[in-house]
């Protein structure tokens, strides 16, 4: 029985990975002509924002996406020499492309996908919260929990590549809490309501 559950779980993960991979393969970031960046995001990719950031994380371009196909040609002629990051953000993941502008021209490199933290409240009064995330870097991740007034309730650090823990909120007042996760140099905030 236990082996059957493991096989079923592996099959579910495989199917999820295939579907996710198909959606990510549909996103296209490319250099078309000199100093011209083309971004193509079909509606099926489930992206909700595209951003261009410099090496110090200053946002140079950002656009919210709707459920339609997205196509933009961005001129990079006035962009100074340096390193940049293109982020295509969805509900559960962030696709990152590295853009470099040198005297020799422009180059693109895929930096991969970062999965956002998952937060799920459960229990009789939704007092238990499962927090799950993957940290793709050797850097430590941190978790901070704030109440609705912004006061820090608790904080802790994590050295593991995969974090999957249940947080117990049974000793705190009912209400809305924010769970802030810092990993791989990015901050993610998820809200959860504790109570009936």
pLDDT at 173: 92
pLDDT at 150: 94
Asked whether the predicted pLDDT for residue 7 surpasses 60, the reply is no
26-115 and 118-194 have identical folds: yes
Q: In CATH, what number does 26-115 get?
A: 2.60.40.3080
**For 155-166, how does the pLDDT look when each residue is reduced to its tens digit (9 = 90+)?**
999 888 888 899
Q: Which of 30-39, 145-154, 173-182, 186-195 has the lowest mean pLDDT?
A: 30-39
Q: What is the CA radius of gyration of the chain?
A: 20
Asked whether the predicted pLDDT for residue 71 surpasses 80, the reply is yes
Number of Cβ within 10 Å of residue 179's Cβ equals 20
Candidates 84, 90, 114; CA nearest to 102 is: 84
Distance CA 106, CA 99 (A): 7
- Tokens 């339609």 correspond to 68
Mean pLDDT of 2-12: 41
Distance CA 4, CA 194 (A): 35
**For 118-174, how does the pLDDT look when each residue is reduced to its tens digit (9 = 90+)?**
889 898 888 999 998 887 677 788 999 999 999 999 999 988 888 889 999 988 999
With contact defined as beta carbons under 8 Å apart, do 82 and 55 qualify?
Answer: yes
With contact defined as beta carbons under 8 Å apart, do 131 and 118 qualify?
Answer: yes
Distance CA 1, CA 144 (A): 38
Q: In CATH, what number does 118-194 get?
A: 2.60.40.3080
Q: Which sequence spans correspond to the domains of the chain?
A: 26-115, 118-194
Mean pLDDT, the chain, integer: 80
- E strand segments, the chain: 28-31, 36-41, 47-54, 59-64, 70-75, 82-90, 93-102, 105-115, 118-122, 128-134, 141-146, 152-158, 162-168, 175-183, 186-194
Helix/strand/coil for 166 = strand
What's the pLDDT band for 83 if we cut at 50, 70, 90?
very high
Distance CA 74, CA 63 (A): 12
Count how many residues are written for the chain.
196
pTM, two decimal places:
0.64
């Amino acid at each position: 029985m236990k082996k059957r559950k493991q096989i079923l779980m592996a099959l579910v993960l495989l199917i999820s990975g295939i579907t996710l991979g198909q959606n990510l393969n549909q996103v296209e970031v490319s250099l078309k002509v000199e100093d011209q960046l083309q971004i193509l995001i079909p509606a099926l990719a489930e992206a909700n924002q595209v951003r261009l950031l410099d090496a110090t994380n200053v946002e140079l371009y950002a656009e919210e996406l709707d459920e339609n196909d997205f196509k933009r040609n961005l001129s990079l002629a006035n962009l100074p020499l340096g390193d940049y990051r293109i982020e295509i953000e969805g509900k559960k993941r962030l696709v990152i492309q590295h853009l470099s502008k040198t005297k020799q021209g422009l180059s693109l490199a895929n930096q991969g996908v970062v999965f956002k933290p998952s937060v799920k409240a459960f229990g009789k009064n939704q007092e238990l919260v499962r927090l799950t995330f993957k940290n793709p870097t050797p850097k430590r991740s941190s978790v901070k929990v704030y109440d609705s007034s912004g006061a820090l309730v608790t904080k802790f650090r994590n050295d593991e590549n995969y974090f999957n823990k249940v947080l117990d909120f049974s000793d705190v007042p009912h209400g809305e809490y924010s769970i802030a996760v810092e990993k791989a140099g990015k901050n993610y905030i998820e809200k959860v309501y504790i109570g009936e």
